[in-house]
Amino acid sequence: MYAPVVPGEGTAAPPSRTAMLRFALPALLALLPLVHTQLVRSEPAAASTVTESPAELRLWFEGGIEPAFTQVALHASSGARLALGAPAAGSENGLVIVPVPMPLAADQYRVTWQTVGRDGHVVKGDFAFSVEAGTSAPPRAAMLQDSTAWGAGAAGRTPSGGVIYTPAHPEGVATSSPAQHARAMRPVRWAELALLVTALGAVAMLLLVLRTSPGSPAHERFLITATRRTWIVAMVSSGLYLAAAFARLALESNAMHGGGLGFSANEIGRTLSTGWGRAWVIGTIATVVLFVALLLRRPPHDVVGLHRPSRGSDLALAAAGLVAAVAPAVTGHAAGAVAMMPLAVFADWMHIVGASAWVGGVIVLGIAGAPAALAQPAGERSPALGWLVGAYHALAVPALILVVASGLLSSWLRVGSWGELMRTNYGDILLFKIFVVGFAALLGAYHWLRVYPRLAVATAGDDREARRLHWTLLLELVAGLVVIALTAALVTTPPPR
């Protein structure tokens, strides 16, 4: 007999406590705004006028930067790019000092800067200042200096005379803008997130759903088939995720090196030495451990060899999955936050965990669980699929709640206000994602409230409801993949805050 899983009844929080949280949480978050990497002040200050030629440029950044990838250029009003030394980290946190090796003439100057935040994203900007008194000979537009370290922190040099004749290229050697990098990165991020969510969803199914067994021979046969197919999905998706992670490493290294390749062993090493690179290494190692743990947990081929995995192997698999789930959080927007960075990382981590159990679970149901049920003998398909839907529902409901709660928190931290949500590109993508998540949730409700009861009362040999559910599961799977695509767009789009 197949025993349906009945969802438990939740308890509501007291109204007074709910009201307190409703008003206290936004107030707390408003006091601690989430700001990403930005230039907060400089010497000379933006729009200021100095009476003497500065010996150095001093730039203070907020949000964490990588000094080795900080690039600064100085332009005269004629467009000439002037001689500068290599940027170096100052004694204060976030301070970058750039030597100005030759006196500046009285003129208006523009400083362009580019740096890499803790989240691996390239950020750039500019500001202007004026020199009221300086040398009598203004710089010539044809005389450009290539010592600005614009090529990803390469050591600067100051030749005799302070200038070098080079082809005019006022913006340095960078060939890829952050917007171009974001467009190139989105397909890779979509593949990376989809594969990770699928792999972790398969792990959740193995640990929390497919272990339950009423003990009937028919159910044992189905359980073996479903477990093997789910295990294969977990192995393939985690392996492909590793390949996508290495593709992302190459693209991030290329962006950090100004779009000028960045694929050599030395350049990859410099990329891995950043905060983003170290987080990438941790996530990649966790995925390798996850892959090995799955390999050691290979399921049997038939009922005769059926055995229950040990508690130790389950704990190892769960731990590796949880660590792998934190990788997108520590290599994304949350890692570049100035205030409340631990909370932002935790919210993103929980969002991936919830999405893996919910969306990843639906993907696994569509490509492994439902086909395994339909592969059973006639008369056993509807009961098998009905049991699977009931068991998965007990996982999907708390996972959906976790997705919504963590998503709302992350959205508040990144958007901050209703106005920013309505007038920014990030807000437009977020609203569309919320709409698709709602559509997927309605499909899930339809499966539980309409299709599942019909499966429970299906007569022997009637497998029409099982096949109908398989098609609607595939529709929910497509909605889940669209949600992941919109997430990939969000993580490559600068948030308002």
Q: Residue 110: what are its φ and ψ, rounded to 5°?
A: -120, 130
* pLDDT given at position 192: 92
* pLDDT given at position 193: 92
Residue 398: is the preceding peptide bond cis (ω within 30°)? no
Q: Which two tokens stand for residue 389?
A: 């839907």
Residue 3, Cβ density class (10 Å: 0-12 exposed, 13-18 middle, ≥19 buried) = middle
pLDDT averaged over consecutive 10-residue blocks of the chain (497 residues)?
A: 41 40 39 58 92 89 77 83 78 85 86 81 86 59 39 34 35 47 78 94 92 72 90 95 92 76 78 86 91 86 58 86 89 69 88 93 91 84 84 91 91 80 86 91 84 69 70 85 89 76
Rounded distance between C-alpha atoms, residue 398 and residue 357, angstroms: 9
Q: Which two tokens stand for residue 86?
A: 């290599």
Rounded distance between C-alpha atoms, residue 19 and residue 90, angstroms: 47
* Count of residues making up the chain: 497
CB 475 within 8 A of CB 447: no
Q: Residue 144: what are its φ and ψ, rounded to 5°?
A: -115, 150
Classify 96 as helix, strand or coil. Answer: strand
SS3 content of the chain, % helix, strand, coil (to 5): 55, 10, 30
* pLDDT given at position 233: 95
Rounded distance between C-alpha atoms, residue 62 and residue 65, angstroms: 8
Classify 202 as helix, strand or coil. Answer: helix
Beta bridge partners of 111: 74, 127
